């Protein structure tokens, strides 16, 4: 019995010395200290020994068990330290290496062009107003002097809601009325940016949802020359100090006279190219002197004040300047498109 115990101790310690990782350590533990280990079996057999041998064998068995347990604990701690040291080495951070830059987000081109225009208009003394995307028929059409049978009121062009006479605004021009009513009888000089909605077939050239910026200026003695001067100055601030502009007669129910402003093609510099269709000019906004009826609807006396208004499509300016050929890109959020800005 004593020989067997000595042999078990030697064998156990020898095998433990060869253990190099926690997996084989666990296997060792099961084999030498587990419930079915030879040592455990011997200890169960102690009871069957003759009384004279019992005390000595029992003592020795406990010694062997404690020796193996102590060696095991020491080995486990050694392995744990070694594994920690290894992990520390493996995961070491070289603080002298340059960092990996985190991918940075960027502003959406819609935001970029709007902010650019806000800055230009703010420098020129314009306030920025907001008005809602949902308007009544009264605001969107009636007060802007649209005749009852105007085609823009057609169900085909406007998104009507379940509420009678409530539409998604088809342009930012109802903002003119809001801005005038908030200011009358005092002068007003404001822009109103926002989304507009038209019930149209979606193509590369037309979206059902697009941005507009409305402008409204009302005060005593405002004339057509103020409109031309202000908008030409705006174009120069936006596109460069030498850019030329021209005004062509047009028609809007809420302005009289009405015009469209063209800027010299900023792609070819006016020589003629595919972007300006060889004309040298790009149309960028609609404008005009606020119709007396609209001034009255805004709360002003047309005998005391006059004003001008304009409406532009910021996305159109971006499309022209960046040669974007598909307006749908502005709402698709395709990163391949967005990352180019
Ligand atoms: N609301 C017009 C449009 O959507 C643009 C415009 C605004 C024209 C203000 C004149 C004055 O086309």
One domain, residues 273 and 158: yes
DSSP letter assigned to residue 274: T
Find the 288 Cα to ligand 1 centroid distance in Å.
Answer: 8
One domain, residues 157 and 278: yes
One domain, residues 114 and 160: yes
**pLDDT at position 156:** 65
Find the 34 Cα to ligand 1 centroid distance in Å.
Answer: 89
Total domains in the chain come to 2
**pLDDT at position 308:** 98
Q: Mutate which of 173, 222, 314 to test ligand 1's pocket (most atoms within 8 Å of Cβ)?
A: 173
Ligand 1 atom with the smallest distance to the CA of 216 is: 9
One domain, residues 40 and 174: no
Whether residue 145 has its Cβ less than 6 Å from ligand 1: no
Over its C-alpha atoms, the chain yields an Rg (Å, rounded) of: 42
Distance CA 7, CA 10 (A): 5
One domain, residues 183 and 306: yes
Query: pLDDT of the chain along its 341 residues, tens only?
Result: 888 888 888 998 899 888 888 889 999 999 999 888 888 888 888 888 888 888 888 898 898 899 899 988 999 998 999 889 988 888 888 889 898 888 888 899 999 999 999 999 999 999 999 999 999 999 999 999 998 888 877 766 899 999 989 999 999 999 999 999 999 999 999 999 999 999 989 988 889 999 999 999 999 999 999 999 999 999 999 999 999 999 999 999 999 999 999 999 988 888 998 888 999 999 999 999 999 999 999 999 999 999 999 999 999 888 888 888 889 999 999 999 998 88
One domain, residues 209 and 85: no
Closest by CA position to 253, among listed 167, 153, 141: 141
The model's pLDDT over 20-51, given as tens digits with 9 standing for 90+, comes to 888 899 999 999 998 888 888 888 888 888 88
One domain, residues 37 and 164: no
Q: For residue 221, what are the domain limits?
A: 109-338
**pLDDT at position 113:** 94
Distance CA 122, CA 329 (A): 28
Q: What is the CATH number of the domain that holds 309?
A: 3.30.930.10
One domain, residues 198 and 261: yes
One domain, residues 6 and 138: no
**pLDDT at position 191:** 98
Distance CA 126, CA 67 (A): 90
Residue 328, number of CB atoms within 10 A of its CB: 15
Percent helix, strand and coil across the chain, each to the nearest 5: 45, 20, 35
Distance CA 226, CA 275 (A): 29
One domain, residues 172 and 29: no
């Amino acid at each position: 019995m004593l020989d067997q115990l000595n042999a078990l101790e030697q064998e156990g310690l020898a095998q433990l010395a060869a253990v190099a990782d926690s997996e084989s350590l666990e296997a060792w533990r099961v084999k030498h200290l587990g419930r079915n280990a030879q040592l455990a079996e011997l200890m169960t057999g102690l009871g069957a020994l003759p009384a004279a041998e019992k005390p000595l064998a029992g003592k020795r068995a406990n010694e062997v068990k404690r020796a193996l347990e102590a060696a095991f604990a020491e080995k486990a701690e050694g392995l744990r330290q070694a594994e920690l040291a290894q992990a520390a080495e493996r995961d070491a951070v070289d603080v002298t290496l340059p960092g990996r830059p985190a991918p940075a987000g960027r502003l959406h081109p819609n935001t970029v062009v709007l902010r650019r225009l806000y800055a230009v208009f703010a420098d020129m003394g314009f306030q920025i107003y907001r008005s809602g995307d949902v308007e009544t028929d009264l605001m969107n059409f009636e007060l802007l002097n649209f005749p009852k049978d105007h085609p823009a009121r057609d169900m085909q062009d406007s998104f009507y809601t379940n509420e009678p006479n409530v539409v998604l605004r088809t342009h930012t021009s109802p903002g003119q009325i809001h801005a005038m009513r908030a200011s009358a009888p005092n002068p007003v000089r404001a822009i109103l940016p926002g989304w507009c909605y038209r019930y149209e077939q979606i193509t590369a050239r037309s979206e059902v949802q697009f941005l507009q910026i409305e402008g409204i200026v009302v005060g005593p003695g405002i004339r057509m020359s103020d409109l031309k001067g202000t908008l030409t100055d705006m174009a120069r601030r936006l596109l460069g100090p030498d850019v030329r502009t021209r005004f062509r007669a047009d028609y809007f129910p809420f302005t009289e006279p009405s015009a469209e402003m063209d800027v010299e093609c900023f792609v070819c510099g006016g020589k003629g190219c595919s972007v300006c269709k060889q004309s040298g000019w790009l149309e960028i906004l609609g404008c005009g002197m606020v119709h007396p009826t609209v001034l009255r609807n805004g709360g002003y006396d047309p005998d005391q004040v006059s004003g001008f208004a304009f409406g532009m499509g910021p996305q159109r300016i971006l499309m022209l300047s960046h040669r974007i050929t598909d307006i749908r890109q502005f709402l698709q959020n395709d990163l391949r498109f967005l990352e180019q800005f």
